[in-house]
Homo-oligomer: A and B are copies of this chain.
Amino acid sequence: MFTIGKASEQSGVNIETIRYYEREGVVPKPGRSAGGRRLYSPDEIATLRFVRRCRDLGFPISIIQTFLSLTKQSDRSCGEVKTLAESHLDEINAKIENLELLRKALLSLSANCDDGTAACPMLDALMKDGFGELRSEQSRP
């Protein structure tokens, strides 16, 4: 059994984040020592690592909770996982597309900044009325 510090090291999850996950019911409450300290089994640490990896893949907590409950059922879980993963992939693709658009817009705006005039053409363009609107939902993460 390991204290929260060791669990944090081994799972790569910040101590405060581990306690946060426990508060939010993402991971079950671990046992406690006589002095009231949290004690984690290797399995519980593996769960924390699993959560971190899913977070690294960009999955939101709510989906990760579904994953965790699916891992306990063992049967018929794969189709659901694949569906969730694919819709997440769609979101990632949409984000990439949006960022590419932003990239292009920013590049063309800042390119004008080299023209040596005192006023900034980029700020000017953003102030003016004729500027094309982006209004892309996914651009706000």
Contact = CB atoms under 8 A, between A and B. Distances in A.
A103 B131 CA distance: 32
Contact of A123 (B70, B121, B141): B70
A3 to B, nearest CB: 21
Contacts of A55: 140
Each complex incorporates copies of this chain amounting to 2
A116 to B, nearest CB: 9
Given A53-B131, A95-B99, A120 B78 contact: yes
Interface of A: 12, 46, 50, 53-58, 67, 70-71, 74-79, 81-82, 85-86, 88-89, 92-93, 95-96, 99-100, 102-103, 105-107, 109-110, 113-114, 117-123, 126-127, 131, 133-136, 139-141
Given A54-B126, A93-B103, 15 more contacts: A50-B127, A53-B133, A56-B139, A57-B102, A58-B102, A58-B139, A77-B123, A78-B117, A81-B113, A82-B110, A82-B120, A86-B110, A89-B106, A92-B103, A99-B99
